[in-house]
Amino acid sequence: MILSRIFRFECFCYWLTLTAVLLDGYSYNKVDRHAARVLLKNWRRKAEEQRAKFFDRLPKNVESSYTPPEVIKHRGYPAEVHNVTTDDGYILELHRIPPSSNNTPKKVVLLMHGVVESSGTWLVNPSSRSLAILLADQSYDVWLGNYRGNRYSRRHITLNPKQAQFWKFSWDEIGNYDIPSIINYILKETGQSKLSYIGHSLGCGVFFIAMVKHPELNSKIDIMIALAPLSSFAHFTTPLFRILTPFSKIIQFFLRMKRTLGWLDSAGIGDLFFDLICEQTYSQARLCRNVINAVAGPNPENLEPELIPLVGSNYMHGTSVPVIAQFAQNYFAGETFQAYDYGWKGNLMRYNSFTPMKYVLKKVTAPVYVFSGGNDRIVTPLDVDWLLKELGNLKDSIRISDYNHADFLWGTDVKGRLYDQVISLLPSP
């Protein structure tokens, strides 16, 4: 670093000297001045290479160390924290952007995140293209959910996250307990009879489970907007997942040896990874962006390198091993949407069948609008096509040809190409 600073200082001094020479043309002929210009250009190029190598650091974004309520307040909006206890004892944390302080109740919109994410994923983009903030600007009563196991919902009335029992949950428990508890709590708190639900990825899958397991909830939904909705997982094409999926049972075995079933459950492990690997320089940020696109699908220019620190601080927030294993199970099951597979003995006890229960999506009678991406490697167009045929009350389906799985949250063009349409579908506040 010291040598680099000296080099920059020498370049600066040399630049001043050559500038003076070029301005003082009476002592040098045209050939000398041309040679000086070439030499100056070469030195400037070398100085730029050194700067890129040693000083090309990402600007620090203070919000990368904030909780979602702190981010909301930092952007000039009120924020509230609410705690919901599920019927099986998990304590979930909800983050709210309440409407402006008048006495008129506003329409409620609930946003639910995907796997290993949290409510903060809706706040990664700047306010001008953050769905949560855009909804607040339209005077909606905005609620950001966190389901069990992530950083903000890692509590239980009797269990401790250090106990394996705490982590014995799958998509099924999130859909059967968390989503109903969250919906009913919000409606009671706001005095409303219905709300609008916007989910991304697994946030859609657990909604479908909730509607199937609790049919009465369908009448409490004004509209459900599904962004890259997870259901069938038969055709996913992410290379890393396809490599690891056949070894899912072996991975589960070794994870059990650490006496917990938590996945990325250590506090701050995601932040540490992104801070060390992705958040120091633009080169690192672009590398990590390429990794994200390798998983989510191609479209690299739609994620700004400057957002990588915020992506890192709102990703890898933890879940359970069974939640991750259920992805592999649904992949091997083909075109279906099934409950967790406990093996034939466990299935007999839970489902009275040798095989896991299949969720009948025709029972989802709440009105659903689906937005999907043509470049999505996780929720592929083929899997979305299967879902569209299965839903009980599909209103419309829009496919954005070049969108990958992450563009629905962090895309640079997401407001004009997606969120404006989403907001236009909602009942007026």
Catalytic pick among 265, 376, 383, 407 = 376
Report DSSP letters for 416-428, one per residue: IIIIHHHHHHSPP
Assign 391 to helix, strand or coil: coil
Catalytic pick among 95, 113, 317, 405 = 405
> What is the pairing mode between strands 90-97 and 155-156?
antiparallel
Residues 6+ apart with CB under 8 A from 414: 125, 129, 131, 407, 408
Assign 224 to helix, strand or coil: strand
Sign of CA dihedral 35, 37, 42, 47: positive
Q: For residue 92, give the nearest of 192, 186, 201, 198 by alpha carbon.
A: 186
Q: Let me know: does 245 contact 328? Beta carbons within 8 Å.
A: yes
| Catalytic-residue membership of 376 | yes
| Catalytic-residue membership of 405 | yes
Catalytic pick among 201, 248, 313, 372 = 201
Cα distances (angstroms) measured from residue 92 to each of 5, 359, 416: 50, 25, 33
Report DSSP letters for 322-385, one per residue: HHHHHHHHHHHH-S--B----HHHHHHHHHSSSSPPBP-GGG--S-EEEEEETT-SSS-HHHHH
Q: Let me know: does 116 contact 317? Beta carbons within 8 Å.
A: yes
| Catalytic-residue membership of 248 | no
Residues 6+ apart with CB under 8 A from 384: 229, 370, 372, 397, 399
Which active-site residues does the annotation give? 201, 376, 405
